[in-house]
Amino acid sequence: MHVTEHLDRAERTLFSFEIIPPPRGGTVRDIIAMVEQVAPLRPPFIDVTSHSAEAVYDELPDGTIKRRVRKKRPGTISICGIIQNRWGIDTVPHLLCSGFTREETEDALIELNYLGIHNVLAIRGDESNYAKALNQGRTRNLYASDLVAQLADIGRGRYLDELVGSEPIRFCVGVGGYPEKHIEAPNLSADIRNLKTKVEAGADYVVSQMFFDNAIYLDWVARCRTAGITVPIIPGIKLIDSVRQLTSLPKHFHVSLPDELVDEITASPAHVKEIGRRWGRRQVEGLIAAGTGCIHFYVMNDAGPVAEVVRDLA
């Protein structure tokens, strides 16, 4: 079922989750354990992130440097297939522009269709230290709106090559939005215009970057509506569970943390997980009171705290 169908049919606030593949050399058992924690909560869908290749440099005994290119976290499509076909939970694999050609994207979409997966999140992806060379005849999506347009074309049966009698593959396409603006946007108004471009290219819904102040999110949604963005907008929530995240989250995700939250964790670091759960629950309760139909949790590697919050609210 498409994400938008879940949203249309919901009779209660839905809770969805986002997980990341294990690192190279890890085991899928960790993913299975996380899904087993959240499956009883009846999530309408689970997102699985994707990661482009990066360059790794090793110093050899003779002092020379060897360059290797690898994906740190492979396995997105396989994990989606396991979740969707083992638990019957719709999955949303993330598709990236960065590090992938349009031809590779088309192949991935065909594989997803064969697995019965018909939801995707289209994102540009962060620039890595590895720029994939384009072989002759290969092309690249530069922006998420380009990727959304490719998905819309496949939904009409238009492939990169002229194929006689080609069948359309209709994907429900999500895109990312930034309540505090994307780091590269000059201001929030420009960022909302960029979001509208993605929606006009064919996006069916928006999932927000994590935020820790509901007022910021609700104001951003109001500005999106004023700008003419009418598709569903799903808020993204992250439960803080370590003191280190007070610096790592702003650094990597370019989000701000309220003074009250930072002061409470700083004053009582031993209770950071309890504080994070309490703050997240307060956010969720506020969003439900505001009429939010679905709340998306960024689980990362530990589903336990999120499952506890959702169980308390169910």
User: For 67-101, how does the pLDDT look when each residue is reduced to its tens digit (9 = 90+)?
Assistant: 555 567 789 999 999 999 999 999 999 999 988 99
* b (16+ CB within 10 A) / e for 143-172: bbbbbbbbbbebbeeebbeeeeeeeebebb
Residue 264 predicted with pLDDT over 90: yes
DSSP-derived pairing of the beta strands 14-19 and 45-48: parallel
> Which tens digits make up the pLDDT trace of 196-255?
999 999 999 999 999 999 999 999 999 999 999 999 999 999 999 999 999 999 999 999
pLDDT at 163: 87
The chain-wide mean pLDDT, for the chain, equals: 92
The pLDDT-based confidence of 312 (bands split at 50, 70, 90) is confident
Angle of helix 102-114 relative to helix 76-87, nearest 10 degrees? 20
**Residue extents of the structural domains in the chain:** 3-313
Dihedral angle, C-alpha 142, 123, 176, 90, nearest 10 °:
150
Residue 54 predicted with pLDDT over 80: no
Look up tokens 């949203």; give the residue. 7
Helix (H, G, I), strand (E, B) or coil at 35: helix
Contact (Cβ atoms closer than 8 angstroms) between residue 71 and residue 25: no
Length of the chain: 314
Percent of all residues in the chain with a pLDDT value above 90, rounded to a whole number:
81
Q: How far, CA to CA in Å, does 218 sit from each of 187, 225, 260, 299?
A: 17, 11, 19, 22
d(C-alpha 53, C-alpha 49), whole Å: 13
Lowest mean pLDDT among 28-32, 45-49, 227-231, 232-236: 28-32
Classified by CATH at the fold level, domain 3-313 comes out as: TIM Barrel (3.20.20)
Smallest Cα–Cα separation from 93: which of 71, 110, 118? 118
Contact (Cβ atoms closer than 8 angstroms) between residue 35 and residue 305: no
pLDDT at 108: 96
Mean pLDDT of 279-285: 97
